[in-house]
Structure 1
Amino acid sequence: MITIYTTPSCSSCRKAKKWLDEHNVVYEERNLFNHRISNFDIDMMLEHAENGFDDIISTRSKIFKEKDLDVEDMSVSELKNFIIDNPSILKRPIIVDEKRMQVGYNDEEIRVFIPKKLRDFIMSSNIYKEDDSEYQTVLEQYFNNDAK
């Protein structure tokens, strides 16, 4: 199951959700301001992070600057608790499933979340990346055939 961590005012979050919806990708949305993030959530993110906390937190965020914090001086548990208490320090959106994670919205990278059957159909259609209309046509063909 794909989980996407979002905030209401995040335009990249809206783009990611729109893309997932257009590709009929099932996901669970967790609004960081309405859903208290847990140690489990953070552990799931860190399991897929190549650079640990650096991949998921924004040290340029207002709260980091106000508190004059240095991530290097904090223990893992201190940093997790800080994230739980201040979820706005997380980069957004964070899209994660059991195999992969994407931080932020990237039109190319988000394609890893397309179900394999749809990816195979797209690849067999020999469409060009630059031709968005042809890509949309292939998606419509897939979903129309899949609905039958």
Structure 2
Amino acid sequence: MIRLYGIKNCDTVQKARKWLDQHQVSYEFHDFRSDGMDSVPVDEWINTLGWEKVLNKRSTSWRALSDEQKTGMDDTLAAACTQKEPTLIKRPVLTMPGKTPAFGFKTADYEAHLA
């Protein structure tokens, strides 16, 4: 099953959802805020790709972290921080069985990922 993770009012998530809908791709949407973080496989993403690929270091949430948190960031701290502040995760996240998750939205990347 294809799953798209994000926040429904995020512009980039909206673009990704629109693209998937236009290309008649069946997917399940999981909103970090309204659906919660309990079933979100953030630890798996971080273990597979590293926290640097999962966290959005240009986000307001990243800038709100303390300097100590930023300089001491590692996989364990990243997983803990995303549970408290899911907006730290690069959005959207597109997951499919047997494929590495895709973070962010670019048409070419989605075309390649879904090929």
Task: Please tell me the TM-score bracket, short chain as reference.
Answer: 0.7 to 0.9
| Matched position secondary structure for 2:33 | coil
Q: CA RMSD in A?
A: 2.3
Q: CA deviation at 1:83?
A: 0.4
Q: CA deviation at 1:13?
A: 0.9
Aligned position for 2:2: 2
Is contact 2:5-2:32 (8 Å) kept? Answer: yes
Is contact 2:51-2:74 (8 Å) kept? Answer: no
Is contact 1:36-1:84 (8 Å) kept? Answer: no
Aligned position for 1:143: none
**TM score, norm. by length of structure 1:** 0.64
Q: Structure 1 residues 40, 90: CA separation in 2 closer, same or farther (over 3 Å shift)?
A: closer
Q: How many pairs are equivalent? A: 113
Aligned position for 1:11: 11
Q: Structure 1 vs Structure 2: percent identity of aligned residues?
A: 22
| Unpaired segments ≥5 residues, structure 1 | 120-148
| Matched position secondary structure for 1:63 | helix
The CA distance in 2 between the partners of 1:80 and 1:89, in whole Å, is 10
The higher-RCO structure (CA 8 Å, 6+ apart) is 2
Which of these two proteins has the greater Rg computed from alpha carbons? Answer: 1
| Unpaired segments ≥5 residues, structure 2 | none
Q: Does 1:77 align with 2:76?
A: yes
The CA distance in 2 between the partners of 1:16 and 1:109, in whole Å, is 11
Is contact 2:47-2:75 (8 Å) kept? Answer: no
Q: CA deviation at 1:5?
A: 1.0
